[in-house]
Amino acid sequence: NRKKKRMTAPAKVVYFNIQGRGEIIRLLFEMTGTPYENVAAQWPAIKSEQAFGQIPLLEWNGLRLNQSLAIARHIARETGLYGTTNDEASRIDMIVDGEADLRNTYTSINYGNDYDSKIRHYRDTTYPNQLGYFEKLLEGDWFVGSKPSLADAVVWNLLDIHLKIFPKSLDSFPKLKSFHQRFAEIPNVKNYINSDRRPTNINANGKGMSPIEN
């Protein structure tokens, strides 16, 4: 008798072909070896179908979810990246929320007015100030518990996009610097970032790709 394995369709991630707010979703699936499909969004055709008029959208096992962080938390729950205790889950939440605030600042500067002066002020004050908190919160190899979690993925993603414009940004943060390297060496992650599955462009307006030195 042949046992028939119940197949569930891979998750669908509907987004633009940029890293943006979709990258954390791809990273989580890749890191855990969970099958998923990138679906290039028909935009703005599908806008009115989205709960908040925005993407990314996740479709997985009959669930439709918008909001990148809700999607990220969902994947983390499904794939064991949310810690093992209430305490760990809350610390993960705090780091995810902290990263989100900093990402919102980066995003509003990236797409806003006065980019040239705001990005430099951000490079010299806001970003390093906030990195100081993350440096302090990193007490071991990983942010929470003894193995990589959702918290590590979000912070790594943030650090990585910032290194494109601020290549020296981790020089004063030795723990974050070695964390960035350590996470990138995780076999599934290393495989992903060296593949063509990872979008080249970070933002929809093409900004954020090269160093801002002076």
Cβ proximity to another protein: between 74 and 162 the closer is 74
Residue 79 or 201 with smaller CB distance to another protein = 79
* Closer residue to another protein (CB): 134 or 183: 134
Q: Are 169 and 127 in contact (CB under 8 A)?
A: yes
The pair of three-digit structure tokens given for residue 196, joined into one six-digit string: 């063509």
Minimum CB separation of residue 1 from another protein in Å reads: 33
Output helix, strand, coil percentages for the chain, rounded to the nearest 5.
Answer: 50, 10, 40
Q: Which residues bind another protein (CB under 8 A)?
A: 51-53, 63, 65-71, 73-74, 77-78, 86-87, 89-91, 93-94, 96-98, 104, 108, 112-113, 130, 133, 136-137
Tell me the C-alpha distance between 160 and 184, whole Å: 10
Q: How far apart are CA 175 and CA 131, in angstroms?
A: 11
Q: Which lies closer to another protein via its Cβ, residue 26 or residue 73?
A: 73
CB–CB of 88/76 below 8 Å?
A: no
Nearest distance in Å: CB 128, another protein: 13
Q: How far is the CB of 199 from another protein (least distance, A)?
A: 22
Helices 68-79 and 23-31, axial angle in degrees (round to 10): 10
State the minimum distance, in angstroms, from the CB of residue 134 to another protein: 9
